[in-house]
């Protein structure tokens, strides 16, 4: 039987970019269907107030990235935290990406804040703790990133599985049912470029030029991380 993944959408792509890249759930569906064509999906637009009726609504849930910060005072963020706690209590599988990674951490007792190290953009490479994350096929991986917030302290019981000099907690697991990454497996370099150009002044010229240069000498491995995500959901 094919797996049914619930996508918890926490942001909208800029309207002028949607014809080229789609919305965030489209990006995840493209990424994951390339690895397993039998997957099915339902999306809930959490930012618009939608949430699944219960944790049984999908085999596992995936929380997308967002331009919101998890510590913003927004009702939909508090509601999503509540749903994550329900999933955790029921040991229902949850994958969090970028904002989703941070939201899961905060919902379960960790802390998130704006990093003094500034923005992480372009292709970032991370060291993997294979002892903590046995699904990894190697001790390093690279993903596109776009974030200023970071997980400052993990929730109780969580294990750090990925790190680099810019982002200490770049991935974590909790039990057999939670997996999160700071990087964006669903992004493609062209979309990453659009964001850097659009947020140029916010990110800063030097960091943008470093991010643009990263495309030349680092390979984004979204498909590889997608395989880890599916192996985790299938376990």
Residues with a known catalytic role: 98, 184, 186
What are the tokens at 185? 């497996």
Question: What is the dihedral sign for C-alpha 115, 117, 119, 125?
Answer: negative
CA distance 161 to 129: 5
H helix runs in 108-204, sequence order: 189-198, 200-203
- For the beta sheet containing 171-174, the strands, ordered from the edge strand earlier in sequence to the opposite edge, are 40-45, 4-9, 60-63, 93-97, 178-181, 171-174, 158-163, 120-128, 140-147
Give the residue from 57, 92, 62, 60 showing the smallest Cα distance to 175.
92
């Amino acid at each position: 039987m094919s797996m049914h993944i619930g996508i918890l959408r926490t942001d909208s792509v800029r309207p002028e970019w949607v014809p080229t890249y789609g919305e965030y759930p489209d990006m995840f569906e493209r990424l994951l269907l390339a690895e397993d064509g039998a997957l099915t999906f339902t999306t809930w637009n959490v930012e618009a107030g939608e949430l699944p009726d219960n944790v049984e609504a999908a085999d596992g849930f995936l929380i997308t990235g967002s331009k919101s910060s998890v510590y913003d005072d927004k009702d939909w963020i508090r509601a999503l935290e509540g749903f994550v706690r329900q999933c955790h209590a029921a040991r229902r599988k949850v994958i969090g990406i970028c904002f989703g990674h941070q939201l899961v951490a905060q919902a379960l007792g960790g802390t998130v804040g704006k990093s003094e190290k500034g923005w992480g953009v372009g292709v970032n490479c991370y060291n993997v703790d294979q002892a903590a994350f046995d699904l990894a096929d190697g001790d390093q991986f690279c993903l596109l990133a776009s974030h200023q917030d970071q997980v400052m302290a993990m929730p109780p019981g969580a294990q750090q599985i990925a790190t680099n000099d810019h982002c200490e907690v770049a991935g974590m697991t909790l039990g057999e049912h939670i997996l999160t990454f700071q990087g964006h497996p669903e992004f493609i370099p062209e979309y990453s470029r659009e964001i850097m150009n659009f947020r140029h002044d916010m990110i800063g010229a030097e960091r943008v030029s470093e991010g643009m240069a990263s495309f030349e000498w680092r390979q984004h491995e979204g498909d590889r991380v997608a395989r880890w995500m599916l192996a985790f959901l299938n376990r």
